[in-house]
Amino acid sequence: MSAVPHRSIAVVFIGIMLFAVGLTRLFQMRFSAGDIYPAYSSLRSDPLGMQALYEGLHALGGDSVRRNFLPLKQVEMTKGNTYLFSGLVVDGAFQNSTGMHHLLDRVSEQGGRLVLTYRPKSGKPDTRRGQDKMDRDDAAQKPPSEKGPASEQAGRETQADRSDATDDDDAELAAEKEWIGLMPALKLNVTATATESLADSARRQTDAPAGLPDTITWRSPLTLISDEPAWCAIYRWMDTPVVMERTWGQGVVVVVADSFLLSNEGLRTNRASAFLAWLFPPDHTLVIDELHHGLHRQPGIAGLMRKYRLYGVTAALIVLAVLILWRRAAVFVPHSAETVWQAQHAAIGAEAVQGWVNLVQQHIHSGRLIDVCHNAWRSSEAAERLSAERLDQIRQLVDDYRSAPGRKDPVTVYRTICERIKQG
């Protein structure tokens, strides 16, 4: 192999490596922005994400926090676990799913702490950066069958104006203003009269656990409604509960009507450390659920290699590939003059013979080889030296082979014809 192909292989290899490095860097820059993940995801690093909470708890102890991408039916709850659902939407679809009911059963039987935090949909204006983007994402993901606020209001007015409205219609109209939450007798309500003049903080109840701050920042129009005595109000906003807690069998369930204090912006501008310490006890392992955000973990080859720690095998394969490329691009032992002379003279004959064989194989089918040889021989002067009887015998052998080419070996027929010619 000459030096030019060696340089070509090296240039292609270097180009592929540079392309791979550039593509990897491009993906790193895109994922580092974090806005490709849903709001209140622990993988998101902008103001609407929760990566700061995850990284902070992970820095305190590697086993104190982890993410969950598995279905809820496969989640194990223990007394030392706090399971967090952040940024829930108030439509109640995910909260009333079968997986959530299985998780509640395990909380009741095995213990643990379940924390549900919601995100605002409408009502009081939110001053957070990125809130407009989150509203646009919600509008883009909303099914066509869902009605917007204007159409809902118009529908309510039309229904209210009907004189023949029944009691069932009135009950359905009232249900549109409230979203039934996860637990019985607990509802999420949007404060319709929320304005800029309303309070921006929620106050702690007198019977709340000690050590909690007197007030926490509140940015959401969502409030909680419950007629069941088991629910205990921890914080109130505008005289309406926004943080509630209750025992659930062997475990505890906490519902927070806003997720702002868990977000990256909330931890930077309005950090409520005592509230977060109560929400996520230090002696518990916090499990942040990412499945309800639509995030699934599908490990590829690289993920499986990290999981089973195949770093040595990977390094050995890389070294082997480099050695193979090096061996093809360079000659370690120099050739002697005699070796070069033999290779050159052998290559001349080998190239000619090999070229003739390749030409025959590409242009003449094996079944027609005897016919082609026979026609070429009959057109030569050598065929005129044989008698007509011998020529008829040779033609008979060719015809027999042509009638059944797959049953007879062409080499055997060729040798038989050569013997007949020699006898003549």
Task: Calculate the average pLDDT of the chain.
Answer: 75
Closest CA to 314 of 329, 327, 301, 298: 301
Span 159-187, pLDDT tens digits: 333 334 334 443 333 333 344 445 555 67
How far apart are alpha carbons 97 and 117 in whole angstroms?
17
Quote the pLDDT of residue 322: 86
Quote the pLDDT of residue 175: 35
How far apart are alpha carbons 302 and 314 in whole angstroms?
10
How far apart are alpha carbons 69 and 71 in whole angstroms?
7
Distances (CA, A) of 200 to 125, 206, 376: 11, 19, 104
> Strands 81-88, 285-289: parallel, antiparallel or unpaired by DSSP?
parallel
Residue 78 has pLDDT above 90, yes or no: no
Please give the average per-residue pLDDT across 55-72, as a whole number. 87
Cut 0.85: pTM above it = no
Q: Are the CB atoms for 83 and 287 separated by under 8 Å?
A: yes
Domain limits of the chain? 34-142+188-298, 364-423
Q: Are the CB atoms for 130 and 158 separated by under 8 Å?
A: no
Q: Are the CB atoms for 293 and 42 separated by under 8 Å?
A: no
Please give the average per-residue pLDDT across 281-298, as a whole number. 87
Please give the average per-residue pLDDT across 132-148, as a whole number. 44
Span 201-228, pLDDT tens digits: 899 998 888 889 999 999 888 888 887 8
Closest CA to 76 of 95, 94, 103, 52: 103
Residue 287 has pLDDT above 90, yes or no: yes
Residue 330 has pLDDT above 70, yes or no: no
Q: Are the CB atoms for 67 and 239 separated by under 8 Å?
A: no
Residue 414 has pLDDT above 70, yes or no: yes
Amino acid at 264: N
Please give the average per-residue pLDDT across 184-195, as a whole number. 56
150-159, 321-330, 397-406: the lowest-pLDDT one? 150-159
Phi, psi of 334 (to 5 degrees): -70, 145
Residue 267 has pLDDT above 70, yes or no: yes
Residue 288 has pLDDT above 90, yes or no: yes
